[in-house]
């Protein structure tokens, strides 16, 4: 007998839907789908004499990555030069 995926015993006794990894991936995919639908419009970035137009869903990860790289670089430049100073 094939048990449907929404059956209680299937979830209770080790079905794929009971695993945390499956739940997290499902939530991440649903969140990504909502972001794609809500941020599909094109935005323009004007910087000096350049103008770049792209979808907002592409623009957000680029900004996040740029912020991470800048933050990492600043932390490396202003951080302790010698690891033994913290011991």
Q: Which residues span the domain enclosing 14?
A: 1-38
- Judge if 57 and 78 occupy the same domain: yes
For the stretch 19-53, pLDDT in tens is 788 888 889 888 878 877 787 788 888 888 889 89
Q: Specify the number of domains making up the chain.
A: 2
Handedness of CA 2, 8, 13, 19 (dihedral sign): positive
- Judge if 26 and 55 occupy the same domain: no
Selection from 6-15, 54-63, 76-85 with the highest mean pLDDT: 54-63
Residue 21 within a domain: yes
- Judge if 54 and 22 occupy the same domain: no
- Judge if 4 and 22 occupy the same domain: yes
Residue 87 within a domain: no
For the stretch 55-73, pLDDT in tens is 888 888 888 899 999 999 9
- Judge if 4 and 31 occupy the same domain: yes
């Amino acid at each position: 007998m094939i048990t449907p995926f929404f059956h209680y015993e299937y979830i209770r006794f080790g079905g794929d839907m009971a695993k945390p990894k499956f739940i997290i991936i499902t939530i991440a995919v649903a969140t990504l789908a909502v972001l794609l639908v809500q941020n599909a419009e094109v935005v323009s970035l004007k910087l000096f004499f350049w103008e770049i137009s792209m979808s907002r869903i592409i623009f957000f990860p680029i900004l996040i990555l740029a912020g991470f790289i800048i933050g990492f670089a600043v932390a490396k430049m202003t951080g302790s030069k010698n690891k033994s100073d913290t011991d």
